[in-house]
Amino acid sequence: MVADRSQPRVGLLSQLTRFVLVGGLSALVDYGLYQALLHTGLWVHGAKALSFVCGTTTAYLLNRRFTFTQTAGGATRFTGFLLLYGTTFFVNVGMNALVLHLITEGAPFRVTIAWVFAQGTATMINFLMLRYVVFRR
């Protein structure tokens, strides 16, 4: 994996800003689809799993093009991405299930609160691993 030297190196603050913007859009995809699937009557954990996969795909494609632009692509990076997001998939869905279990049934914003905790945990793991492992120079 050879880095593209034609582009200047993006600093941590710039990468973090871009990551947050991409993450915001990806979170909208995830949350919007999660809510839509729940309204169709889909099982909550199935809805969370499907919405996570769609949000994650959005995040990968945009982060690859917009956030971590100085790195070459290829099968190795994509495999690293799949391993990372495979792991965070279980963290995300598991955290969502845990928070749903801990919050009383019928509590206001219960589903949204669980989604926020799950998303926040997965996002922290993803940024660190994307920056220092998957898209490292």
Specify the pTM. 0.71
The tens-digit pLDDT sequence of the chain (137 residues) is 444 445 555 678 888 899 889 989 999 999 999 999 999 999 999 999 999 999 988 988 888 788 877 666 677 777 877 888 888 889 999 999 999 999 999 999 999 999 999 989 988 888 888 778 777 76
Say how many C-beta atoms besides its own lie within 10 A of residue 119's C-beta.
21
Domain that holds residue 116: 12-134
Query: What percent helix, strand, coil does the chain show, rounded to 5?
Result: 75, 0, 25
Query: What is d(CA 56, CA 76) in angstroms, rounded to the nearest whole number?
Result: 18
Q: Is residue 35 part of a domain?
A: yes
Give the count of domains, the chain: 1
